[in-house]
Amino acid sequence: MTLVQNFPFFCIILSMFSAIISFVLSGRQAKIVHLAMTGLVFVMSLFVLQYTYMTGSSYTYMMGHYPAPWGNEIRIGALESLMAAAFSLIMLLSVIGGIYHIDKDIDKERQGLFFIQLDLLLASLLALIYTNDLFTAYVFIEICTIAACGLIMARKIGRVYVSAVRYMVMSLIGSGLFLIGLSLLYAITGQLLMSPARIALQKIADTGQYEVPMAVIMVLLTVGLGIKSGLYPFHTWIPDAYGYSTTSASAILSSLVSKGYIFLLIKLIVRVLPYKSIPGAQMENILFLFGVVGMIIGSVDAIKDKNIRRMISYSSVAQIGYIYMGIGLGNNAGADAALFHVISHGLMKSLLFLAATGLIDCSGGRLDRKGLTGAGYRNKVAGVGFTIGSLSMIGMPLLAGFVSKFMFASAATSAPIYKMIIAWTALAISTVLNAVYFMRMVLVIYTPVGAVKASRLKRGAQTDIEIKPESGEKAAMLQKGPLENIGIIGISALIIMLGTYSQVIIDIIRNGFALFD
């Protein structure tokens, strides 16, 4: 085995080890350790991606040198290494882009704990991506839940504690359902590794036995991960959890955590569950239905909310609906589109939260549309970043979001006729709704305050639009923006690159997904 083949294991262990040593470090030292570790994980993931893509094969890494069912394995292919590289890069840029708000929003004595949670979160996401063992997946689901809850609570304002409790309750429900389904699966098959479990389940499906237990297993595993990823109608915890956390936490939670659960679900559907069985086909249709409904409801809720951060949060509900719609199409093209959107939406959502924070800062802390009037002129980098993210979410050509929507529309042509019509209709409606709330906000941030006041005076209305600048130490901190701008500029460039040079990523996804079986 070559050195590069050991890198996925090193990435997981390195992330966990960073959390351990950060426990005895100061907040500043823990920050440096986290940034260095995340950058190293990204580089190692790129080496693994190059190796797996060039060889065109996947391999399993046995830990402890014990065979199944006692051994613990991780599985590495081009798709897994691509996701690991994307997740680590998005986390790195999200932390860099929100670094000053970590200092502002979190007490110094708690900053070390914040970076410990980030280290554990990255380790959990990498484990969910690579694991070949179902019980190991459950263990890291719980670690991911605890770490995410800690990130939400890091900011000491009353609303985040309520948000953290709601998130924890919903996550525990999802974890409980997943564990029950996993227990039933083990009871039927006696296996916890994915490939042996699939072989056993396929034999059972061929004999026609245990049809009801198999349907129950599929429902429990799918609903459990659906709840944890924010699939409609289990999305009610999202607006507060994403909307009131500190900037980096909001960007990471919305762009990565839910995607880790979705990637695990795709692995279960393709590599474990008898995908073409009757219960599997029914589950497929249910995911398609809830995905389509989530696309519309999430956008409608975003239109109604005047708070920019909550608007972006509700948008996540709609975008998660896109991914589940792609999975529910029931073909490889739909799964490819869903996996591509996992990456593109991760970039877009992180950019929107970072840019929105820059716009809020230069508007005296105002989060409403009226208070953000003209913010694009006051913070030009944030304004451009928010515009790029918004246009990509709408599906503007040459941006990542356009490629996602084109792939979903193309995948629908290979689905049954009723799914094709529903998918195309939902994509059209959702795109229009996306344009309503994102372009409305873009127009607001590029409307000069003077023009609004003149318009109001002409109509005889009140002119209460005033932007009160921050003062003192807080203002000095907010004026420091090089790192914050690096995060915004870096993710903006990646969205443009993903939109213009998407074929390489699509090829990696297709080749990697083909090796899942």
Tens digit of pLDDT for each residue in 111-133? 888 899 999 999 999 999 998 88
pLDDT of residue 215: 82
Q: How confident is the model at residue 470 (pLDDT cuts 50, 70, 90)?
A: very low
pLDDT of residue 214: 82
Integer-rounded Cα radius of gyration of the chain: 23
CB atoms closer than 10 angstroms to residue 47: 15
Picking from 37-51, 114-128, 358-372, 389-403, which range would have the lowest pLDDT averaged per residue?
358-372
Written as one letter, the residue type at 479 is: Q
471, pLDDT greater than 50: no
238, pLDDT greater than 80: no
pLDDT of residue 130: 92
pLDDT of residue 84: 94
- 507 CB contacts (<8 Å, ≥6 apart)? none
Q: How confident is the model at residue 71 (pLDDT cuts 50, 70, 90)?
A: low
Per-residue pLDDT tens digits for 151-183: 888 777 667 777 778 888 888 899 999 999 999
195, pLDDT greater than 70: yes
429, pLDDT greater than 90: yes
What is the secondary structure of 93-147 as a DSSP string?
HHHHHTHHHHHHHS-HHHHHHHHHHHHHHHHHHHHHHHB-BHHHHHHHHHHHHHH
Per-residue pLDDT tens digits for 402-427: 999 999 999 999 888 998 999 999 99
Q: What is the pTM of this model?
A: 0.90
pLDDT of residue 369: 82
Mean pLDDT of 225-231: 88
212, pLDDT greater than 50: yes
Q: Which two tokens stand for residue 77?
A: 């292919």
Q: How confident is the model at residue 67 (pLDDT cuts 50, 70, 90)?
A: low
65, pLDDT greater than 90: no
Q: Give alpha helix (H) positions in 190-277.
A: 194-207, 211-229, 238-243, 247-252, 258-271
Per-residue pLDDT tens digits for 4-30: 888 999 999 999 999 999 888 888 888
27-55 helix and 108-130 helix, angle to the nearest 10 degrees: 20
Task: For CA atoms 480, 482, 485, 491, give the dihedral sign.
Answer: negative
Mean pLDDT of 137-141: 91
Q: Any idea where the domains of the chain sit in the sequence?
A: 276-517
Q: What are phi and psi of 462, to 5 degrees?
A: -75, 145
469, pLDDT greater than 50: no
pLDDT of residue 280: 54
451, pLDDT greater than 60: no
Which has more pLDDT, 291 or 109? 291
Give the integer Cα–Cα distance in Å for 65 and 67: 6
Coil, helix or strand at residue 331: coil
Q: How confident is the model at residue 188 (pLDDT cuts 50, 70, 90)?
A: confident
244, pLDDT greater than 80: no
Q: How confident is the model at residue 476 (pLDDT cuts 50, 70, 90)?
A: very low
DSSP 8-state assignment for residue 182? H
213, pLDDT greater than 90: no
DSSP 8-state assignment for residue 24? T
Give the integer Cα–Cα distance in Å for 41 and 12: 9
pLDDT of residue 261: 92
